[in-house]
Amino acid sequence: MEFLEKNAIYIVMIIVLIVWVGVFLYLWNLDKRIKNIEKEIGEKK
């Protein structure tokens, strides 16, 4: 904890990582859902 208080930049880094993981998971899910719709429409690209 003391280490983090002295080096606040690591907190920034952790927050950025969490945000990026969130964005990535969102995109991943979206990709899967769109692929399902693609299959339902019966179109292969």
Partner 1 sequence: MIWKIFLFLLLCFVSVAGISFPIVDNPQAWYEFPFIKGLEENAKIIFFHVPTAWLTVIAFFMTAIYSFKYLRKKNLDDDAKSYAAAQLGIIFCILATVTGAVWAKFAWGSFWSWDPRQTSIFALLLIYGAWFALRSSIESEEKRATLSSVYAIIAFVTVPFFIFILPRIMTGLHPGSADDTNAGPVIDFKMNSNMQLIFFLSLIGFTILYFWMWRLGYKSLIYRDKLNKQLLLRG
Residues between 1 and 45 with contacts to partner 1, criterion CB under 8 A: 9-10, 12-13, 16-17, 20, 24, 27-28, 30-31, 34, 37-38, 41
Amino acid at 26: Y
User: Assign residue 44 a region: left if phi > 0, alpha if psi is -120 to 50, beta otherwise?
Assistant: beta
Query: Given the complex with partner 1, which of 1 and 45 has the nearer CB atom?
Result: 45
Catalog residues that contact partner 1 under the rule CB under 8 A: 9-10, 12-13, 16-17, 20, 24, 27-28, 30-31, 34, 37-38, 41
